[in-house]
Amino acid sequence: MLRAACAHGNEAHYLFHDNAEHQDLGRLSLQCGRRNDALKLFLAWRSRGDAGWGALVDRYMSLAAHLADRVRQEPQLELVGTPEWTNVCFRHVPEGVPHLGETVDAHNAGLRAALLEEGRFMVSRADLDGRVVLRSVIANPAVEASTLDDLVDHVLRLARTMPVNGKSQVEEPRT
């Protein structure tokens, strides 16, 4: 039945080769060689229901607002854009460094790389209005407001250890 339903008109000559018919599972899947992501969404929706999905989205939106507020409270962090969904874009601007320019962009790109290397927080990078920003997307049921507070605190601590323009931001002890 799958072979008949997923024949794809046999037009995808670049995908299907007669000599690999037994190894080529594309002829037996609804999306050729891709996963059936819609089935995962259907099953998850079925288990949560409309009200459950609504509550989850509302919670994510509330957490995004919390993160945006927390970023606004920190003088060395700059909120880039107004969050309209669960994406919160921000960047670290070291004291005394102009907000625009390659120095701050390179600093934030390095900050994101350091965050990923540590593996504690997952943030992506975006280029918005000519600025490199850290992009946090809140989409994990395990995330709490305290998790986002830890993210902000960690970004600030980590950023202080990173050099800007070849100069350390951490004051050396005077002897």
Selection from 136, 128, 127 nearest residue 71 by Cα: 136
Token digits of residue 149: 């507070």
Are 77 and 146 found together in one domain? yes
Domain containing residue 28? 1-40
Domain assignment present for residue 50? The answer is no
Name 171's Cβ contacts closer than 8 Å, sequence gap at least 6: none
Report which DSSP code applies to 173: P
- Does the reported pTM lie above 0.95? no
Query: Is residue 172 situated within a structural domain?
Result: no
Distant-in-sequence, close-in-space partners of 75: CB < 8 Å, separation ≥ 6: 95
User: Cβ distance 110 to 132 under 8 Å?
Assistant: no
Query: Would residue 167 count as lying in a domain?
Result: no
Indicate if 26 and 77 belong to the same structural domain: no
- In a domain, residue 157? The reply is yes
* Residues whose CB is less than 8 angstroms from the CB of residue 74 and which lie 6 or more positions away in sequence, other chains included: 152, 156
The pairing of strands 131-137 and 87-92 is antiparallel
CA nearest 8: which of 36, 25, 24, 27?
27
- In tens digits, what is the pLDDT along the chain, a chain of 175 residues? 766 666 655 555 545 555 555 555 666 666 665 566 778 888 999 999 999 999 999 999 999 999 999 999 999 999 999 998 999 999 999 887 766 667 889 999 999 999 999 989 999 999 888 889 999 999 999 999 999 999 999 999 999 988 776 554 544 333 4
